[in-house]
Amino acid sequence: MSQRRVVITGMGVVTPVGSDINTFWENITKGVSGIVPITQFDAAAFDCRIAGEVQNFDPALYFKEKKEARRADRFVQLAMGAATHAMNDAGFPNEVPDPERFGCIVGSGIGGLKTTEDQHTIYMEKGPSRLSPFMIPMLIVNMASGMISMKYGIQGPNYAPVSACATSAHSIGEAWRLIRSGDADVFLAGGSESAIVPLGIGGFAAMKALSTRNDEPTRASRPWDRDRDGFVMGEGAGIVVLEELEHAKARGAKIYAEVVGYGMTADAFHMSAPLPNHEQAQRSMRIAMDRAGINPSDVDYINAHGTSTPMGDVCEVRAVKAVLGPLAKSIPVSSTKSMTGHLLGAAGAVETVVCIKTIQTGIIPPTINLENPGEECDLDFVPHVAREKKVRIALNNSFGFGGHNVTLAIRSFEG
């Protein structure tokens, strides 16, 4: 494989703690929670009645025509918002040069769940003749990637990975590989999710996966805490612009960081539970580090998957200890899901942005709500308050139902 270097030249987020990079980062570093009582539907009958909702989002701002926004599921709308921010940030506000060398990989764990639910209700109440002709285009997972390409005229590789909570990390990793191998020079990559609907909340609650700390929303997502009782659903989108280094230099692009490693494995074990010692997550981390040419002593920070589930949190701690050995307890590890909630298919990309901003600013975001660490949860989780530290290399872990494991290695750019 060619050793073309791949850098990040643009970032965009739409999240429960901010829908632009500056607001997002300010709230993340201040430990602000975006978890609120659900407002998108009446959740009174549900075991879980809290979520991380995106506030004050106007989808019409991100489409060429308002009717396009109306014909898009919310997960596509959020993706268009994040993509627009990322493209503006990278210096591609309207269209792209050499569109056949520009790609787009934007996935979702679930896709248009609201459209599915709404259209099923119409079918049951009014019959098949009343179904929308836009139903299928609205709900299919690849439509975020497709609509983004249409807005900007992107004609290079274009598809949508689906690997649950590892989706957008896979998107970024695959874009990295395609640029390195010469299939394209620039990619938009990331993911989007909007599953705060009755079926989404009800389904995850039926699995006993969600927190029921309904009376204390901002304290509900508590990775590694003794009293954690499940994750909190979030919605949002994260998209970055990846670019071949010389291409970025030639157009005078600002360079935020460099993607230097990508590991992906499968547990082949259980539909929703990780391997007890997270052996394949270990291997994912090792592959990313090997490809990056780094050792445990080179790792300055880990943005963990850290969802606030009793089993998952412990298994990730075991994996980190196995990979980093005696250094594990001295390397800061935090979970920004304590503030955003779990953005499912968008989580990996949003947390990649966290890693990039950490490298840029020298500020490691905290894990909030970590009051009493649980059994085996004895790493440096940066509790409560952000920390200043020079970070050159960060790892980002993303793990998904189905046994999907992804690790990305991000390094400060060194010309």
Residues marked active site are found at 165, 305, 342
Dihedral angle sign, alpha carbons of residues 331, 364, 5, 404: positive
Distance between terminal CA atoms of the chain? 21
What is the token pair recorded at 94? 């309207």
Helices (H) and strands (E) in the chain, counts: 13, 14
Query: Taking phi first (over 0 means left), then psi (-120 to 50 degrees means alpha), and beta for anything else, what does residue 104 get?
Result: beta
139 sits in which H/E element: helix 135-139
CB atoms within 10 A of CB 1: 8
Strand-pair partners of 234:
52
If we measure between CA atoms, which residue out of 400, 338, 242, 346 comes closest to residue 13?
A: 346
Reported residue count of the chain is 415
Separation CA 80–CA 83 (nearest Å) = 5
Beta strands 236-244 and 257-266 are unpaired
If we measure between CA atoms, which residue out of 76, 75, 54, 399 comes closest to residue 234?
A: 54
3-state secondary structure 279-311: HHHHHHHHHHHHHHCCCHHHCCEEECCCCCCHH
Separation CA 359–CA 259 (nearest Å) = 12
Dihedral angle sign, alpha carbons of residues 150, 153, 155, 158: negative
Say if CB 14 and CB 82 are below 8 A apart.
Answer: yes
Beta strands 301-303 and 333-334 are parallel
Separation CA 104–CA 10 (nearest Å) = 13
Say if CB 245 and CB 383 are below 8 A apart.
Answer: no
